[in-house]
Amino acid sequence: MLIERIEGKWIDAFVDVFNLCRVARGDAVAILSETQSRPVLVQLSELALHRLGARAYHVVLPTPPQRHAIPVRSTGTCLAIDGLQPVVTALASSTMVVDCTVEGMLHAPELKAILQGGARLMMISNEHPELLERTQPTPQLRERVLKGLAVLESAQQMRVTSDAGTDLTVDLRGAPARAAPGFVDQPGKVGYWPAGLVLCFPAVGKVKGQVVLAPGDINLTFKRYVETPVALTIENDMVTKIEGNGVDAELLRSYYSAWNEPDAYAVSHVGWGMNPGARWDALTMYDRSQVNGTEQRAFEGNFLFSTGANETAGRFTDCHFDYPMRNCTIELDGQHIVDHGRIVDSRLA
């Protein structure tokens, strides 16, 4: 059993990451949390910032009421600020915001205003500190991820196939790409930990084909390894069929249908993992309450397929799924980037 208490080694890990974020003595750094945040992450952030000589302060908000009768997980959208302007103003005027909210601010409506104020935001994923300790980012990881971003941004078409039956085509024109190196050191930018992946958000009508979730792939919303195959038919960006005979397919059909909204079935983002230190099998080592699954999004060579909100396509929903898939082949404009789950493009070495 893992205990959530302050450990010196975890303060060291947070100091190292905040150093990568170029936190300097005297910087005004806001630690943003909510009443359901993991207390040890808030405390470790404060102690590490104190060691660096930053002027840290806390912004703590009540976790808001549930908006749905359905359990909601892995949205990347903290709702605790709820447009409260004094909070937005305080965060925007900080040098950096350390985001310790439950879901994170990656897709929160207030993020744009916070970044436009000149602050940078560093999200600490809602994980047990041991997991964060194992997945500390490095400058070398950032170099590699930025190379991946350049490759993705220059491409016009992605094709993903697998021996299990996946055959997906994505038109990348008009799809903004993002890189996640694990830290942030520039004003107006975002980082999160763990990380190490590149992805993009396709525009309307740009995704079609079939995605087959095979045994060993991961449903991160449920924090569950797929045990029986599930075939998702994608037509005009939408999942139109969920086929399979096992409990995995039954769970997906049940959860998607409970939302009773078309955008729940829409494609959100696609990309691939580039972090050699992230492990696909690590989910087996933790209780579900101890992890958020962010590590599994980043393990090297996975194809990350996601459904849910996609601002590029003008679609918004709280139903979100991330599916890191193993053993897929990813081609950009006909060139192999990942071959059966192994990165083969020499540019990404």
Total domain count, the chain: 2
What pLDDT does 349 receive? 80
When pLDDT is cut at 50, 70 and 90, the band that residue 346 belongs to is: very high
164-190: pLDDT as tens digits? 999 999 999 999 999 999 999 999 999
183 and 105 share a domain? Answer: no
- Taking only Cα atoms into account, the Rg of the chain, rounded to an integer number of angstroms, comes to 19
Query: For residue 121, what is the domain's CATH number?
Result: 3.40.50.2300
Q: Are 201 and 308 in contact (CB under 8 A)?
A: no
268-297: pLDDT as tens digits? 999 999 999 999 999 999 999 999 999 999
What whole-number distance in Å separates Cα of residue 343 and Cα of residue 144?
12
Contacts of 210 (CB under 8 A, 6+ apart): 165, 166, 167, 168, 231, 232, 233, 234
Q: Is residue 3 part of a domain?
A: no
What pLDDT does 1 receive? 65
What pLDDT does 287 receive? 94
Q: Is residue 122 part of a domain?
A: yes
Q: Is the pLDDT of residue 210 over 70?
A: yes
Token match 């979100």: residue?
A: 320
Mean per-residue pLDDT, 223-239? 97
Looking only at the bridges linking them, the beta strands covering 342-343 and 335-339 are: antiparallel
180 and 277 share a domain? Answer: yes
Contacts of 20 (CB under 8 A, 6+ apart): 137, 138, 139, 182, 183, 185
pTM of the entire structure? 0.95
Mean per-residue pLDDT, 29-49? 98
109 and 249 share a domain? Answer: no
What pLDDT does 87 receive? 98
Q: Is residue 73 part of a domain?
A: yes
Q: How far is CA 12 from the centre of its chain?
A: 24
Q: Is residue 274 part of a domain?
A: yes
Q: Which domain holds residue 109?
A: 8-133
29 and 166 share a domain? Answer: no
Cα–Cα distances in angstroms (integers) from residue 312 to residues 1, 60, 211, 261, 315, in the given order: 42, 31, 21, 18, 8
Which parts of the chain are beta strand (E)?
A: 28-34, 55-61, 96-99, 120-124, 157-162, 167-171, 177-180, 190-193, 197-200, 207-213, 218-219, 224-225, 230-235, 238-243, 267-273, 303-307, 321-325, 328-332, 335-339, 342-343
> Could you give the percent of the chain with pLDDT greater than 70?
100
230 and 316 share a domain? Answer: yes
Amino acid identity at 89: T
Selection from 98, 213, 120, 202 nearest residue 164 by Cα: 213
69 and 170 share a domain? Answer: no
Q: Final residue of a domain: which of 133, 149, 168?
A: 133
124 and 154 share a domain? Answer: no
User: How many residues belong to the chain?
Assistant: 349
